[in-house]
Amino acid sequence: MIMLRFEIICKDFSMFLCCLLCLLIGFSKRANSVNFLAPSCENVTYSPNTTNSPFRTNLNFLLSTLSSNASRTNGFYNSTALGRGNDPSNTIYGLFLCRGDLSVDVCQQCVASASKRIIQECPNQKGAIVWYDECLLRYSNQYIFSRGDALVRLRLSNVQNVTESDAARFTSLLENLMDKIQNRAANDLSGKKFAVEEANFSAFQTLYTLAQCTPDLSTVDCDSCLSNAISVLPTCCRNRVGGRVLYPSCNIRYELYRFYNNSVAPAPAPPPSPPPPPLPPVPTTSSSKGSSRTIIAIVVPVAVSILLLLVGFIFLIRRSRKRYDAIVEATDASQFSTPESLQYSLSLIQAITNNFSAENKIGEGGFGHVYKGTLQNGQEIAVKRLSRSSMQGLEEFKNEILLVANLQHRNLVRLLGFCFEGEEKLLIYEFVPNKSLDCFLFDPEKQHMLDWSRRYKIIAGIARGLLYLHEDSRLKIIHRDLKASNILLDRDMNPKIADFGMARLFGADQSAATTKTIAGTYGYMSPEYAMHGHFSTKSDVFSFGVLVLEIVTGKKNSSFYQSDGAQDLLSHCWKNWRDGTPLALLDPILGNSSARNEVIQSIHIGLLCVQEDVDERPNMASVVLMLSSRSATMPTPDQPAFFARSKTESFPREFQFDASTSNSMPASVNETTVTELYPR
Ligand SMILES: *[C@@H]1O[C@H](CO)[C@@H](O)[C@H](O)[C@H]1NC(C)=O
Ligand SMILES: *[C@@H]1O[C@H](CO)[C@@H](O)[C@H](O)[C@H]1NC(C)=O
Ligand SMILES: *[C@@H]1O[C@H](CO)[C@@H](O)[C@H](O)[C@H]1NC(C)=O
Ligand SMILES: *[C@@H]1O[C@H](CO)[C@@H](O)[C@H](O)[C@H]1NC(C)=O
Ligand SMILES: *[C@@H]1O[C@H](CO)[C@@H](O)[C@H](O)[C@H]1NC(C)=O
Ligand SMILES: *[C@@H]1O[C@H](CO)[C@@H](O)[C@H](O)[C@H]1NC(C)=O
Ligand SMILES: *[C@@H]1O[C@H](CO)[C@@H](O)[C@H](O)[C@H]1NC(C)=O
C-alpha cells in the first residue's frame, strides 16, 4: 500500500528527492518537541487540597513567574514566592534549568510544558521536580538554591548493550570523557556550568557526553555532585550504549549518537552516523524521453526500496534510542537522614563476618582489624573493629557519624554506619575491592599494573577527594594522615581516600589548630606539623605532594636510598628538577612511552606542594585547576622542606605520639592514623 503510494507520487527523481527530504524533515521535526522523562514528588502534602488554597495560589504565581522569565535568561532562573501575609509556611522556592545547548525558544517551550505537567504529576505536594530531556523544573517549600541536592535521582539506561568484545574499551573511553566534562563543567566560568565532549569509539561510532550543574552551585559543589552522578554509572549503565543520571542539581548523559545541539560541539563535526547511502545518479535532461523512461523503470523501484530501507533503518534506530529503563529513586543520602538508620546490630555483623573469622579478615590499620562481609541485599561491606574503646558518649558519637556519613564523594570511602554494643565498637564502610595504593606502587610484582594514564588519573582523583574534604560546604576536614596506604582502589582502579574524619569520631579537640598529639605518618608529615604540631589544610597539601612524587617515581619517601647523595625522595626530586632532568625521576617500569607533559606537570605540582613555606604551597582548589587545564601557568617551586636532612637529625619517633592521649588514639607508632576535622 505504501509502496503503491510511493510509485504514484514519486514520478520522477526531483519528486523522489522531495519525498526523501520531507520524510527526513518530518522525523527531525518530531524530535524537536519537548520530551517528558519523569516526575519526583515529595511526600509532604499541603491542605486544603483545593485549587484556591493559599499554597496553590502561591505556587501558580511562582510557576507563571518562572515560565515568563524563561525567554529572558540563558537557561537558568530561580525565584521565590513569599507566603501571603508573610506566612513563611507558604513561601515557595522554584527554579528551572534548561540543557546548556538549547536555544531560548526550546527552553521556553520546555518550561511552559513543565509548569503544567508538574501540577498534574504532583497535584498536592509541597515539593516536586519534573525532568525533561530539555529541562528540569523544581519547586519546594524548603530553600533549594546554591546547594548540591542529591536526595533523589533519576537514572536512565538504554536497553541496548555494547558488544562484549568492545565493553572494556567502551568503559575506559567513557570514563575518560566523564573525567574531562566533570572538570570542564565544574570550572566553567561562562556562567553555565555546562560541558560536552565527544570522541571516536570506532570508525563508525562516536561517543557523545554531556554534564551540567545548576549555575548557582560553587565549583566544589558542582564537582562533587557530578562526581556522585558518575559513580552511579557502573550501577545503572554498565555496558549500556547510553545512560543518564539526573540529580536535582546536576546531570550527566552519554549516547552513541549526537543528542545535543551541533553548534556547541567543540571539535569539528565528524561524519554523521549512520552515513546515508549514496543516491542514484540523476539522469541528465539531454537524454531522450524513451531511454529516460527505461532508466526510471529500473531505477525507481531500486531507489524506492533503498528509501524504504533507509526510513525503516532510521525508524528502528530512533525507536531503539528511545527505549530506556528509567528509575526514580531516593538516594543513599536521603536514607541516612537519621542516626538510627546508621545503626547495625551486632548479631547481623557477627553473622556476615563469620564472627570475625580469620578468613574474613582483609586488613589491619591503626584503629583495629578490618573484616569483609556481605549484607542480605548483596552489598559488600568492610567492618573496622576498633581495638581500644575509650570514646565520647554515644549520642555525640552518633552525631559525628552522621556528619561523616553524609560526606559523599566518588573519591572518598563511604562510611555506611556503626555498631556499638557492649564492648564491641564497629565502623561499617563500603567495601573497596582492590587493595591500597601502596600494595601496587611499591610491589615489584604489581607495579606494572599502574601504567602512566592510570597513575595520572589516581593523582587527579586524590586531588578531587581532598578538595572535597577541605572545601565541602558544611565541614572543613583536615585528613592529617594522607598516605599511600590510605588510598584504596576500586574495581576500576579509581582512588578512594580512607580514614578521614577519625579524630572527630574519637573526640579529639576539633577546633585547635595546634595539637600536642603529633600523629601523622613518618615521611608524609609537613615540617610545621612534625616539629610544632601546627596543622592546617596546607599540611594535607604537603602530604599530597609527597604522594604525587611517590606515584611518579614509584619510590617510597620513608625508605629512600639513592646513590646520588640525596637522602630523601624530596631532595632527589628537587635536584633533578633543578638540573632540568625531571623525566629521569619517572618510575623506570613505565618506560618512556608516557605522556611527557603530564609527568613534568605532576612533578611540578608535587614540588609546589612540598615547599617549606606554608603560604607558598597551593591550596587543593588550585591543584585541581592546574591538573585540569594543562596550559595553566604554574609558579616556580622553591626548594622543598628538608626537615629530615639525615636520619639522625630527624625528629625522635616518640615525638610522633603523645602518650597522654593514647587511650583515644590507639595504634602502633608506624600505623598511627589520626584524622582531624572541625567545623568551619
Ligand atoms: C514516600 O512515599 C513512598 C511511597 O508511598 C514511600 O515508598 C517512601 O518511603 C516515602 N518516603 C518518605 C521519606 O517518607
Ligand atoms: C488532591 O486533589 C487531586 C485532584 O484535584 C487528587 O488527584 C488527589 O488525590 C487529592 N489528594 C488528596 C490527598 O486528597
Ligand atoms: C521575572 O521574575 C521577576 C521576579 O523574579 C518578576 O518580578 C517578573 O515579573 C518576571 N518577569 C516576567 C516577564 O514576568
Ligand atoms: C536566586 O538564588 C540566589 C542564591 O543562589 C538567591 O540569593 C536569590 O535570592 C535567588 N533569587 C530569587 C529571586 O529567589
Ligand atoms: C542550536 O544552537 C544555535 C546557536 O546557539 C541556535 O540558533 C539553535 O536554535 C539551537 N538549536 C536548538 C534546537 O536549540
Ligand atoms: C544487556 O545486559 C544485561 C546484563 O548483562 C541484560 O540483563 C540485558 O538483558 C541485556 N540487554 C539486551 C538488550 O541484550
Ligand atoms: C574522529 O575521526 C575522524 C576521521 O575518522 C576525524 O576527522 C575526527 O577528528 C575524529 N574526532 C575526534 C574527536 O577524534
As a whole number of angstroms, the distance between CA 535 and CA 198 comes to 43
Task: Choose the most confident range, by mean pLDDT, from 65-79, 206-220, 396-410.
Answer: 206-220
As a whole number of angstroms, the distance between CA 150 and CA 331 comes to 7
The amino acid that residue 229 corresponds to is A
Distance 281 CA to ligand 6 centre (A): 42
Choice between 202 and 16, residue whose per-residue pLDDT is larger: 202
Please tell me the least confidently modeled range out of 27-36, 227-236, 382-391.
27-36
Query: What pLDDT score was predicted for residue 253?
Result: 96
C-alpha cell at 3: 509502496
Query: What pLDDT score was predicted for residue 315?
Result: 64
The reply to whether domains 36-140 and 437-668 share a CATH topology is: no
Asked if residue 116 has pLDDT above 50, the reply is yes
> In 3D, which of 34, 84, 92, 85 has the Cα closest to residue 63?
92
Residue range 370-382: mean pLDDT, rounded: 90
Q: In terms of C-beta density within 10 A (0-12 exposed, 13-18 middle, 19 or more buried), how is residue 288 classed?
A: exposed
Domain map (residue ranges) of the chain: 36-140, 154-255, 346-430, 437-668
Task: Choose the most confident range, by mean pLDDT, from 214-228, 280-294, 353-367, 641-655.
Answer: 214-228
> In 3D, which of 537, 495, 542, 488 has the Cα closest to residue 513?
537
C-alpha cell at 353: 563476618
- Relative to the CA of 160, which ligand 6 atom is closest? 13
Residues whose CB falls within 8 Å of the CB of residue 24, separated by 6 or more in sequence, listed in order: 314
Residues whose CB falls within 8 Å of the CB of residue 341, separated by 6 or more in sequence, listed in order: 335, 417
Distance 270 CA to ligand 7 centre (A): 6
Asked if residue 655 has pLDDT above 50, the reply is no
Question: What's the chain's average pLDDT?
Answer: 79
Any bridge partners for residue 137, and if so which? 96, 130
- Tell me, yes or no, if 443 is annotated catalytic: no
Q: Which of 77, 78, 142 is the pocket-test mutation for ligand 4 (most atoms within 8 Å of CB)?
A: 78
CATH class of 437-668: mainly alpha
Distance 133 CA to ligand 2 centre (A): 27
Query: What pLDDT score was predicted for residue 270?
Result: 38
Asked if residue 576 has pLDDT above 60, the reply is yes
Q: Which residues line ligand 7 (CB under 6 A)?
A: 198-200, 267, 270
28 CB less than 6 Å from ligand 5? no
Please tell me whether residue 76 adopts helix, strand or coil conformation.
strand
- At residue 332 the predicted structure's pLDDT band, cuts being 50, 70 and 90, is low
Residues whose CB falls within 8 Å of the CB of residue 540, separated by 6 or more in sequence, listed in order: 466, 469, 470, 478, 479, 480, 482, 620
Query: What pLDDT score was predicted for residue 609?
Result: 96
As a whole number of angstroms, the distance between CA 675 and CA 660 comes to 17
Choice between 357 and 675, residue whose per-residue pLDDT is larger: 357
- Note the ligand closest to the C-alpha atom of 207: 7
Please tell me whether residue 152 adopts helix, strand or coil conformation.
strand
- At residue 518 the predicted structure's pLDDT band, cuts being 50, 70 and 90, is low
| CA-to-CA dists, residue 595 to 392, 549, 555, 573, 598, angstroms | 50, 16, 19, 18, 6
Return the sign of the alpha-carbon dihedral for residues 278, 30, 243, 189: positive
Q: Are 136 and 97 in contact (CB under 8 A)?
A: yes
The amino acid that residue 242 corresponds to is G
Q: Which of 28, 71, 102 is the pocket-test mutation for ligand 5 (most atoms within 8 Å of CB)?
A: 102
Q: How many CB atoms lie within 10 A of CB 680?
A: 9
CATH class of 154-255: alpha beta
261 CB less than 6 Å from ligand 3? no
Residue range 549-564: mean pLDDT, rounded: 81
The answer to whether domain 36-140 has CATH 3.30.430.20 is: yes
As a whole number of angstroms, the distance between CA 499 and CA 367 comes to 10
For residue 580, the 8-state DSSP code is: T
Radius of gyration, alpha carbons of the chain: 30
- Note the ligand closest to the C-alpha atom of 237: 6
Asked if residue 499 has pLDDT above 90, the reply is no
Nearest residue (by CA) to ligand 3, atom 11, is 69
Catalytic residue among 216, 223, 472, 481: 481
Phi first, then psi: what are they for 45, rounded to 5°?
-110, 160
Query: What pLDDT score was predicted for residue 442?
Result: 92
Choice between 510 and 195, residue whose per-residue pLDDT is larger: 195
- Relative to the CA of 200, which ligand 7 atom is closest? 1
Asked if residue 169 has pLDDT above 80, the reply is yes
- Percent of the chain, pLDDT > 70? 75
Please tell me whether residue 481 adopts helix, strand or coil conformation.
coil
* pLDDT tens-digit map of 17-43: 555 555 554 444 444 588 999 999 987
Q: Which of 157, 160, 161 is the pocket-test mutation for ligand 6 (most atoms within 8 Å of CB)?
A: 161
Distance 194 CA to ligand 7 centre (A): 23
The amino acid that residue 311 corresponds to is V
Indicate yes or no: pTM above 0.75: no
Asked if residue 207 has pLDDT above 70, the reply is yes
Phi first, then psi: what are they for 233, rounded to 5°?
-55, -45
As a whole number of angstroms, the distance between CA 478 and CA 675 comes to 7
Task: Choose the most confident range, by mean pLDDT, from 66-75, 129-138, 373-382, 511-520.
Answer: 129-138
Please tell me the least confidently modeled range out of 135-139, 231-235, 594-598.
594-598
Asked if residue 119 has pLDDT above 80, the reply is yes
Query: What pLDDT score was predicted for residue 511?
Result: 43
Residue range 629-651: mean pLDDT, rounded: 64
| CA-to-CA dists, residue 238 to 374, 419, 542, 546, 666, angstroms | 22, 33, 37, 35, 41
Query: What pLDDT score was predicted for residue 13?
Result: 52
Asked if residue 287 has pLDDT above 70, the reply is no
- At residue 620 the predicted structure's pLDDT band, cuts being 50, 70 and 90, is very high
Nearest residue (by CA) to ligand 7, atom 1, is 200
Topology, domain 346-430: Phosphorylase Kinase; domain 1 (3.30.200)
Distance 103 CA to ligand 5 centre (A): 5
Query: What pLDDT score was predicted for residue 540?
Result: 93
- At residue 199 the predicted structure's pLDDT band, cuts being 50, 70 and 90, is very high
